[in-house]
Chain A
């Protein structure tokens, strides 16, 4: 891994309170360019709050965020996007009725100016869309096919390719595989691998260790707002990660309870 000396983003002791609820109590992670940092945790562990803090949606109650070594004070997500932090959400910013290339360039349309007219440069958009998608290993029938005709995994890949094309240095993926089947998941994981190899830092949120382990370089486990530690890939086994995940013990308890009942 072309790991740099300095992490691209450092989250130091992040705390976030919503009224009397403590959603995060002192979570720290360092994310490096060209690495995939997996954020693992069960529902309610604070994963979403944590990445929303990272992408400028929430301001931390306590703690410090250093982006490229400088303290970060984003007033809104737009600033974060401009700085190169892109989030691909569970609910994609994709419009099924529109073509892949129209979606790819939505809000960033390539413009050919003729006088005061700002024409959409379809030729350029179609070409770039085809190129970027084939880099990610997806062969489109046509850049004009509607996003609705793509599978869930392909849609995720379009969204990821779009973020990278428009200059994301830090890509936050919020449960990109949670609604996908095995094969689609494999495709998305491959996309993550490709993006990482291009030198982009990836933060991959999931509650599935099986998805995280093949692509992750570092793993941070969250449980009820606390960090249970960060591990490098060579420091931990997949099984111990699984056990540490919230639910690991509970599922063992559940198994025991079921056995007792029999």
Chain B
């Protein structure tokens, strides 16, 4: 073997060392970070005096962003596992409606209504996953079917039961419910009253709540968003299961050959996406005190756009939960910021389309760098 031993492989002199910039480019969060900085710079320059950055303004876009984060985390993990869920928006409408029907119309205790709804929706998520795995059909088609099935049921059920498409009165029945508080309560209220007393944030000047801060605490919706984001990020990057998520989406066949339980991973991710949609719906129903048949329209696409802005590849196997959360933040800040800056709100959709296109092009470029494709 002497002739072979002389051929000791040295590092290939033709491969250029990656520059720092290129290395930074390979981080999936890059687009999200750049976008976030750009968006904040823009609004700080052009809408600073509009009230966008006082306590109410910050709370306003934070809540909208948090809503996007909740569904984006689910969509992100599912997309990295190689699948889509287009039924998220309909699931939000459906879950809200079921909570209202159970608690208001059927007069169940609210905690039971919420738990029951979670069980139903997560089962539907599992069914989505099961059908995708069993039939081998693209998840795009299977969940598109559920987009219509769930939306149809969300309109049909309240009409048959109460002859309306909106069911109100959830706030009254949820009063004092231990589980409802987890979706509707506020934390750090003490801190915010102190901030109000110190004059650091705005307080009510007249009326029964005079002296109290206008923003009385951090809503649970935002807590959910932050907790889900960190949990999702931890699961993906630090656990064994996270490696299986990447592998399932990167190449399901190769993953199976290496002993990764791909089917289980994918079905669990469909269930997690349904869980996130139900969290969103529960928070929304508790906040508004009602469920409407049109809630959650187009949310599935907004979630996917946030994930793509966050650097995930539509083809699966690559992405970042933190990136997706930044994508959701960009989304929320721009949507509300245009309002503060007095810009015609329809332009928001133009912005969305443009940024989506840029994100996908950037992601495709990054993918080429990583895989060395030409």
Interface-lining segment among B174-182, B194-202, B237-245, B266-274: B237-245
Let me know if A69 is at the binding interface, CB within 8 A: no
Let me know if B169 is at the binding interface, CB within 8 A: no
What number of B residues sit within 8 Å (CB to CB) of A? 35
Binding site for B on A (CB under 8 A): 78, 81, 89, 92-98, 102, 105-109, 111, 117-120, 122, 137-139, 146, 148-149, 151, 186-187, 189-190, 193, 214-215
Let me know if B7 is at the binding interface, CB within 8 A: yes
Q: How far is the CA of A118 from the CA of B370 in the complex (A)?
A: 28
Contact status A95-B240, CB under 8 Å? no
A-B contacts besides A96-B370, A97-B250, A107-B259, 8 pairs, CB < 8 Å = A93-B257, A95-B250, A96-B250, A102-B243, A107-B247, A119-B240, A148-B372, A149-B372
Leading 3 A-B pairs by shortest Cβ distance = A148-B371, A107-B259, A107-B258
In the complex, what residues of B have CB within 8 A of residue A78's CB? Answer: 259
In the complex, what residues of A have CB within 8 A of residue B240's CB? Answer: 109, 111, 118-120
Nearest B residue to A111, CB-CB: B240
Interface-lining segment among B8-16, B53-61, B65-73, B83-91: B8-16
Most buried by B among A96, A105, A149, A214: A96
Let me know if B3 is at the binding interface, CB within 8 A: yes
Let me know if B184 is at the binding interface, CB within 8 A: no
Contact status B254-A94, CB under 8 Å? yes
Within 8 A of A (CB), among B13-58: 26
Contact status B254-A97, CB under 8 Å? no
Q: A102 is contacted by which of B9, B239, B246 (Cβ under 8 Å)?
A: B246
Q: How far is the CA of A130 from the CA of B352 in the complex (A)?
A: 43
Let me know if B160 is at the binding interface, CB within 8 A: no
Q: How far is the CA of A81 from the CA of B367 in the complex (A)?
A: 33
Contact status B9-A120, CB under 8 Å? no
Let me know if B343 is at the binding interface, CB within 8 A: no
Kindly provide the distance from the CB of A66 to the nearest chain B CB, expressed in whole angstroms.
26
Kindly provide the distance from the CB of A154 to the nearest chain B CB, expressed in whole angstroms.
8
Let me know if B1 is at the binding interface, CB within 8 A: yes
